Structure 1
Amino acid sequence: MRRLAFFLSLSAIAGSPAVAETCPAAPDHSESLNALIEQVKRAETERDARLISNQMWEYWADAPNEQSQAILDRGMRRRQAWDLLGALEDFDKLVEYCPEYAEGYNQRAFVNFLRQDFRTALEDLDRALELSPRHIGAMSGRALSLMALQRIDEASRALAEALELNPWLPERGLAAPGGPLELKEKDI
């Protein structure tokens, strides 16, 4: 009986994503993303910029393998359905399985932002940006999280950095003159 319990527990552990297989490296889309960043800077209309941004999201949401893609997609569906606890569970699994994949942290941060757990969101956004420094979605999410934490000067700088890469971000109004994240000091 004890042997059976041991083998059952081993098979349960072996079936978990972290043990069953090692997550491969995330696809390197940096050249394509850099090209899209240059395109969005030159976009003439908000519609054009949105189409380019959608292409960026396709690259960021390209998970390392089928298993991680399935976890990411399910978590995103759950988040869209406002099953935030289910989404959080999926993104926890994704981060555990693929700790070097930036989008796992970014998506978990988004869920925590929606749950108004801004400190936890900020931790994940910082990790996402360590892994993918030009992830504009994580940059703007970081600015919004800092703003929610009343760290306005940091939020202003974070949003300014994101707007340098994509001047068409929906959050740009926050940095406009008179907006809550208007930069008070200008670099010369």
Structure 2
Amino acid sequence: MNESSINKLLEDLKKPDEEVRDRATSELWRIWFHQKGAIGFELLRRAQILIEAGEFSQAENELTQVISDLPDFAEAWNRRAVLYYTMGEYKKAIEDCEIAIKLNPVHFGALHGLGLCYAGLGEYRTAIQAFREALSIQPYALINQRLILECTARLS
């Protein structure tokens, strides 16, 4: 997928038509998961199965190996961040989110995850900033709007 196609999908995220936004969101996730082709996708799928089975240590090993083999695979970093968040290891998750965002600056999922981690640490101002960055890419994401309100309420 070329850059102009991705830019079109990013523009579609900002359109008022929910169906258009949903389609663009799904397509961006598909692109990100398939960045490294069928093999990369299969490795992520295997790690996800382990996560769903509660095999966190094994999933971490799998994802760490994927990252070692394919260090520019943003979604592998994001998946490991999700795992760390699930395990309550917010600082490790933050590190992985930041790398995913560095590799893919429009990764609204990693930005959302970054916000969740900072909120989990009680760093609400930083969480709000991450949720706002995610909203700049995906402005109709009600979850981020709600989380900004929740974090703002916790500041007062």
Please state how far the C-alpha of 1:43 moved relative to its aligned partner: 3.1
1:62 to 34, 46, 60: 34
Please state how far the C-alpha of 1:181 moved relative to its aligned partner: 4.2
2:92 to 109, 113, 120: 120
Please state how far the C-alpha of 1:76 moved relative to its aligned partner: 1.9
Specify the alignment match of 1:34 in structure 2.
7
Give ranges in structure 2 of 5+ residues lacking alignment.
Answer: none
Residue 79 in structure 1 maps to residue 44 in structure 2: no
Counterpart code for 1:38: E
Specify the alignment match of 2:102 in structure 1.
130
Give ranges in structure 1 of 5+ residues lacking alignment.
Answer: 1-27
Matches of 2:145 and 2:20, distance apart in 1: 16
Specify the alignment match of 1:51 in structure 2.
23
Please state how far the C-alpha of 1:48 moved relative to its aligned partner: 4.6
- Where in structure 1 do 4 or more consecutive aligned residues deviate above 4 Å? none
Counterpart code for 1:143: G
Equivalenced residue count is 153
Query: Normalising by the residue count of structure 2, what TM-score does the alignment of the two structures yield?
Result: 0.87
Query: Normalising by the residue count of structure 1, what TM-score does the alignment of the two structures yield?
Result: 0.73
Q: 1:30 to 1:120 in 2, by over 3 A?
A: farther
Specify the alignment match of 1:180 in structure 2.
151
Counterpart code for 1:35: K
Counterpart code for 1:139: L
Matches of 1:32 and 1:138, distance apart in 2: 21
Is the Cα–Cα contact under 8 Å of residues 102 and 128 in structure 1 kept in the other structure?
yes
Which structure: larger Rg? 1
Please state how far the C-alpha of 1:49 moved relative to its aligned partner: 3.0
1:92 to 64, 70, 73: 64
